[in-house]
Amino acid sequence: MKKICQVLEKIQKKGHDFAARVFVIKKTGATLLSNRAINYVFSSNNEVGFNSPSPYTKKSIDNVLATTKDNLNKWITVKANVKEDFKRFHNLDVNQLDGLAIMVDTDNSKMEAISYFQNIYFSPN
């Protein structure tokens, strides 16, 4: 059973790339591995609303905000309620974040992606 789980984990890690991602982080302990995170991603393989733990750490959740299936080469706007998402995914009440990363990620799949980001902001509503 352990070998099967290792193979499945490798498959998931191999394809764990997204055309675009905005990664929000809340520090919850003394080490980097104790942090909680949400990856707001643009996916070519999953539908909007799909979410799952990252294959690298269960403390990070991938949450699909948009898909490239219908939005390839289109400018789109998305919104997320980060506070509600931290409560839903991590059972944490968050009023402040400790990190933000913006990425285009294709290192595992060896594919190419170009993404543009604009006007990323946080608001009380």
pLDDT (0 to 100) of residue 13: 67
Residue 111 placed within a domain? no
How would you class 76 by CB atoms within 10 Å of its CB: exposed for 0-12, middle for 13-18, buried for 19 or more?
A: exposed
Cα–Cα distance, 61 to 52 (Å, whole number): 6
Residue 114 placed within a domain? no
Cβ proximity of 53 and 92 under 8 Å:
no
**Is the pLDDT reported for residue 56 higher than 60?**
yes
- Percent of the chain exceeding pLDDT 90 equals 37
**Is the pLDDT reported for residue 9 higher than 60?**
no
Residue 115 placed within a domain? no
pLDDT (0 to 100) of residue 27: 92
pLDDT (0 to 100) of residue 125: 66
pLDDT tier at 14, thresholds 50, 70, 90: low
Residue 117 placed within a domain? no
pLDDT digits (tens, 9 = 90+) for 59-117: 999 999 988 777 778 888 899 999 999 999 999 999 999 999 998 887 777 777 788 88
Region 37-55 average pLDDT: 89
β-bridge mates for residue 52, sequence order: 62
Q: How many domains does the chain have?
A: 1
Q: Which domain holds residue 85?
A: 2-105
**Is the pLDDT reported for residue 2 higher than 70?**
no
pLDDT (0 to 100) of residue 10: 44
pLDDT (0 to 100) of residue 8: 42
How far apart, in Å, are the Cα atoms of 44 and each of 12, 71, 98? 15, 10, 28
